[in-house]
């Protein structure tokens, strides 16, 4: 079967958790809306793109990309965009908003705190809730396996 080359714009997002299971979010002080690290794929693999976006937007932090937690399409300015979101674990270093987020504030939010803020893109709220569920399930699985004989 012959495949036709089709090009769709692709974006990636990083849902970054620390060891306390808090989520890293950024906010434009003028708008008061919060968002994750995200950006466009630029002639690179998806993993390379999410790693680059994290370095560009969050500074020289140490992190581990764990896997895809969401993939969907959305319409942006009349164009269909493929968006792939990754679960990322923060391992250390100082967060320094830079690149597109240079004027942004940042904060770490636990699941309860997430309910007190507004996110810049409505679809992100569902992705963040899914990420917290995955974290809870992972912790539950890890605790369960420790108690097994």
- b/e per residue 90-113 (b: at least 16 CB within 10 A): beeeebebeeebeebebebbebee
Residue 74, pLDDT score: 87
Q: What is the pLDDT along the chain (149 residues), one digit of tens a residue?
A: 555 555 789 999 999 999 999 999 999 999 999 999 999 999 999 999 999 999 999 999 999 999 999 999 988 888 889 999 999 999 999 999 999 899 999 999 999 998 899 998 878 889 999 999 988 887 656 666 544 44
SS3 of the chain: the string is CCCCCCCCCEEEEEEEECCCCCEEEEECCCCCCEECEEEECCCCCHHHHHHHHHHHHHCCCEEEEEEEEEEEEEEECCEEEEEEEEEEEEEECCCCCCHHHCCCEEEEECHHHHCCCCECCHHHHHHHHHHHHHHHHHHHHHHHHHHCC
Closest of 35, 48, 50 to residue 84, by C-alpha? 50
Residue 4, pLDDT score: 54
Residue 4: Cβ-neighbour burial (10 angstroms; 0-12, 13-18, 19+): exposed
Tokens of 105: 């504030």
CA gap 61, 17 in Å, rounded: 12
> 0.75 cut: is pTM over it?
yes
According to DSSP, the residues that pair with 149 across neighbouring strands are none
Residue 147, pLDDT score: 46
């Amino acid at each position: 079967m012959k495949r036709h080359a089709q090009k769709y714009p692709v974006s990636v997002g990083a849902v970054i958790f620390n060891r306390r299971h808090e989520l890293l979010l950024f906010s434009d002080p003028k708008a008061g809306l919060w968002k994750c690290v995200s950006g466009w794929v630029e002639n690179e693999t998806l993993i390379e793109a999410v790693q680059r976006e994290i370095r560009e937007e969050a500074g020289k932090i140490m992190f581990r990309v764990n896997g895809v937690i969401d993939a969907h399409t959305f319409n942006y300015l009349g164009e269909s965009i493929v968006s792939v979101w990754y679960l990322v674990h923060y391992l250390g270093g100082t967060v320094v908003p830079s690149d597109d987020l240079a004027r942004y504030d940042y904060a770490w939010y636990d699941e309860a705190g997430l309910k007190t803020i507004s996110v810049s893109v409505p679809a992100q709220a569902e992705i963040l809730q899914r990420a917290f569920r995955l974290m809870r399930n992972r912790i539950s699985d890890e605790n369960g396996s420790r108690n097994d004989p």
